[in-house]
């Protein structure tokens, strides 16, 4: 399997899976995609229907990765997707399913269910891919006798998922910047209570943007970056996207009895990584009817799917909402879909994303390409704080089920796209305890807390407070890498 860039680096620039695993953007600024999407055969779909999650992950990853020996890859997926890791299930359902499907009921003739993706160590769907990345990175680094220092900035979900994936991994250190005293008590306790010697939490005296600016400044110092082997694990990482393809298959099998049936998925979206994986599953031949993109007030993607206009927002136009993990000004994985939408024409992709940089966006409304959005199954919608609160209340009353704000966004939008006879699967991206304030507002009660998290906030914490100064962060890295 060869990978190429959406912006058209030539045939000589093709790479294997392992070559792009640790990297981010392609050299020409594009994103990596496979040269062709592998197809699943009817026989494979039948055979995969009953596989345990880890073995399904192995089958799907094998199609995208031919430079890791099969036995090693299988060992990695089996080490990753265990009932012990995805144990934070909320009732008596089996953790062994990894991503259990919870049926709500039938609405407008459509069976409606939630696919639970947040039973992992940090209670958000990012664990699904990040846990695999941790094992893949450790394996690849050991093979080449290399080390990696991951530097990132976080306002919550991504940073904690990365830390829980990398803790205790050989050859890897994590330096995670977070805004000092700006996260919820639960979120900072999740990160700061880690005592693993390879995890470093830096609480920056400033806001999230200050932390992100420091990461950019350090990454732009190319000499420092290469001397100290600085890397990232952001949402454009290809392996993260491909790991997410697996649960679309798993959810499909759980919601259907035969491969003749079609289902739709609704995906609470920010950077378009999660729903991009759904698009890839559909391109592989999984019988998906619709992919519903759900956004909050930051509706960059909903605007595009309704109008054909992609218009990135300025920082001042980006809202801080009660579904904060979807608060984006632009969608960093969107270019992968645009590449397919334009019939894989890298010269046009290059032009459009130049327009994004120079003019803040592009307009496909008048072009024939936008009409093809339907062929790809995409539709969209958005939520507001009030509609999320109403949805949380409604689902609790009607189905006795507590959902978080991001999942509420998904369910609200899913209800606008139900079709009789076609199961609708809403991806549950986080557990309610992570966003307790809105639960209290909606339900006048405390969010459910998985047993393993009782007393989390009173555990000893380990973090370093630093000023918003890139040099101080570099000094800290130098002092703690022993190189």
Ligand X SMILES: *Cc1c(COP(=O)(O)O)cnc(C)c1O
Provide the token pair at 140: 């690849």
**Exposed / middle / buried, residue 396 (Cβ in 10 Å: 0-12, 13-18, 19+):** middle
Judged by CB under 6 A, the stretch of 96-104, 266-274, 349-357, 392-400 that binds ligand X is 266-274
Provide the token pair at 234: 């952001």
Sign of CA dihedral 167, 168, 170, 176: positive
Q: Report the Cα 158 to chain-centroid distance in Å.
A: 8
DSSP state of 299: -
In angstroms, give the least distance from the CB of 118 to ligand X: 7
In angstroms, give the least distance from the CB of 229 to ligand X: 26
Of 97, 51, 54, the C-alpha closest to 79 is 54
Q: Which of residues 404-423 bind ligand X (CB under 6 A)?
A: 406
**In the complex with ligand X, which residue's Cβ is closer, 62 or 234?**
234
**In the complex with ligand X, which residue's Cβ is closer, 264 or 269?**
269
296 is a contact residue toward ligand X (CB under 6 A): no
Find out whether 326 and 409 touch, Cβ atoms under 8 Å.
Answer: yes
Which of residues 272, 305, 339, 362 is near ligand X by CB under 6 A?
Answer: 272
Sign of CA dihedral 369, 374, 377, 382: positive
298 is a contact residue toward ligand X (CB under 6 A): no
64 is a contact residue toward ligand X (CB under 6 A): no
The half-sphere exposure of 103 on its side-chain side, counting CA atoms within 13 A, is 9
In angstroms, give the least distance from the CB of 37 to ligand X: 19
Provide the token pair at 131: 């846990």
Which of residues 149, 259, 325, 383 is near ligand X by CB under 6 A?
Answer: 325
**In the complex with ligand X, which residue's Cβ is closer, 6 or 429?**
429
Which of residues 273, 381, 423, 447 is near ligand X by CB under 6 A?
Answer: 273
Q: What is the DSSP string of 426-456?
A: EEE-B-GGGGHHHHHHHHSSPPP--GGGTTG
In angstroms, give the least distance from the CB of 269 to ligand X: 4
Find out whether 75 and 120 touch, Cβ atoms under 8 Å.
Answer: no
For helices 238-255 and 126-144, the axis angle rounded to 10 degrees is: 130
Judged by CB under 6 A, the stretch of 86-94, 210-218, 267-275, 346-354 that binds ligand X is 267-275
Which of residues 111, 152, 171, 270 is near ligand X by CB under 6 A?
Answer: 270
157 is a contact residue toward ligand X (CB under 6 A): yes
- The residues, ordered by sequence, that sit 6+ positions from 12 with a Cβ below 8 Å of its Cβ are none
In angstroms, give the least distance from the CB of 157 to ligand X: 4
348 is a contact residue toward ligand X (CB under 6 A): no
Q: Which of residues 355-384 bind ligand X (CB under 6 A)?
A: none
Judged by CB under 6 A, the stretch of 40-48, 119-127, 142-150, 446-454 that binds ligand X is 119-127
271 is a contact residue toward ligand X (CB under 6 A): yes
Of 176, 76, 160, the C-alpha closest to 124 is 160
Distance CA 282, CA 287 (A): 7
Judged by CB under 6 A, the stretch of 120-128, 183-191, 222-230, 463-471 that binds ligand X is 120-128
In angstroms, give the least distance from the CB of 429 to ligand X: 3
126 is catalytic: yes
Which of residues 231, 268, 432, 447 is near ligand X by CB under 6 A?
Answer: 268
From the candidates 126, 169, 229, 412, which is the catalytic residue?
A: 126
326 is a contact residue toward ligand X (CB under 6 A): yes
Distance CA 241, CA 277 (A): 6
In angstroms, give the least distance from the CB of 333 to ligand X: 7
The β-bridge partners of 124 are: 430
**In the complex with ligand X, which residue's Cβ is closer, 138 or 157?**
157
Tokens 């079709």 belong to residue: 419
Which of residues 232, 259, 274, 321 is near ligand X by CB under 6 A?
Answer: 274
The half-sphere exposure of 76 on its side-chain side, counting CA atoms within 13 A, is 25
430 is a contact residue toward ligand X (CB under 6 A): yes
Q: Which of residues 221-260 bind ligand X (CB under 6 A)?
A: 235
Q: Report the Cα 103 to chain-centroid distance in Å.
A: 23
Of 240, 251, 243, the C-alpha closest to 426 is 251
Residue ranges in contact with ligand X by CB under 6 A: 124-126, 157, 235, 268-274, 325-326, 406, 429-430
Q: Which residues are catalytic?
A: 126
């Amino acid at each position: 399997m060869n990978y190429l860039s959406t912006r058209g680096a030539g045939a000589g620039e093709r790479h294997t899976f392992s070559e792009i695993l640790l990297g981010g953007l392609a050299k020409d600024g594009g994103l990596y995609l496979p040269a062709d999407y592998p197809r699943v055969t009817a026989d494979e779909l039948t055979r995969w229907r009953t596989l345990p999650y880890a073995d399904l992950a192995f089958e799907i990853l094998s199609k995208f990765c031919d430079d890791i020996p099969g036995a090693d890859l299988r060992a990695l997926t089996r080490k990753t997707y265990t009932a012990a890791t995805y144990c934070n299930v909320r009732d008596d359902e089996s953790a062994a399913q990894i991503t259990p499907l919870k049926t709500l009921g039938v609405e407008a003739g459509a069976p409606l269910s939630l696919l639970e993706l947040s039973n992992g160590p940090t209670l958000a769907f990012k664990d699904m891919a990040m846990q695999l990345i941790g094992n893949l990175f450790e394996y690849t680094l050991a093979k080449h006798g290399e080390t990696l220092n991951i530097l990132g900035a976080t306002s919550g979900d991504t940073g904690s998922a990365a830390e829980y994936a990398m803790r205790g991994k050989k050859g890897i250190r994590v330096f995670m910047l977070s805004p000092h005293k700006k996260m919820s008590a639960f979120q900072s306790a999740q990160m700061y209570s880690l005592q693993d010697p390879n995890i470093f939490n830096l609480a920056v005296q400033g806001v999230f943007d200050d932390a992100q600016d420091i990461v950019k400044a350090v990454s732009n110092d190319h000499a420092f970056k290469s001397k100290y082997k600085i890397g990232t694990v952001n949402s454009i990482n290809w392996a993260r996207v491909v790991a997410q393809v697996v649960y679309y298959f798993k959810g499909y099998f759980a919601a259907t009895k035969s491969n003749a049936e079609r289902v739709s998925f609704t995906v609470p979206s920010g950077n378009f990584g999660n729903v991009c994986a759904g698009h890839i599953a559909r391109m592989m031949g999984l019988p998906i009817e619709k992919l519903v993109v759900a956004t909050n007030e930051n509706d960059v993607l909903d605007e595009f799917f309704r109008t054909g206009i992609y218009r990135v927002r300025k920082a001042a136009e980006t809202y801080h909402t009660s579904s904060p993990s979807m608060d984006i000004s632009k969608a960093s994985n969107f270019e992968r879909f645009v590449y397919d939408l334009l019939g894989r024409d890298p010269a046009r992709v290059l032009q459009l994303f130049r327009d994004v940089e120079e003019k803040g966006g592009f307009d496909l409304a008048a072009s024939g390409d936008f009409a093809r959005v339907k062929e790809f199954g995409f539709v969209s919608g958005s939520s507001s704080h009030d509609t999320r609160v109403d949805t949380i209340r409604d689902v609790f009353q009607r189905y006795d089920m507590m959902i978080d704000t991001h999942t509420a966004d998904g369910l609200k939008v899913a209800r606008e796209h139900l079709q009789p006879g076609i199961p609708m699967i809403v991806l549950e991206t986080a557990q309610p305890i992570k966003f307790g304030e809105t639960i209290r507002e909606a339900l006048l009660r405390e969010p459910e807390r998985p047993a393993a998290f009782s007393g989390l906030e009173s555990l000893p914490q380990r973090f370093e407070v630093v000023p918003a100064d890139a040099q101080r962060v570099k000094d800290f890295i130098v002092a703690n890498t022993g190189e």
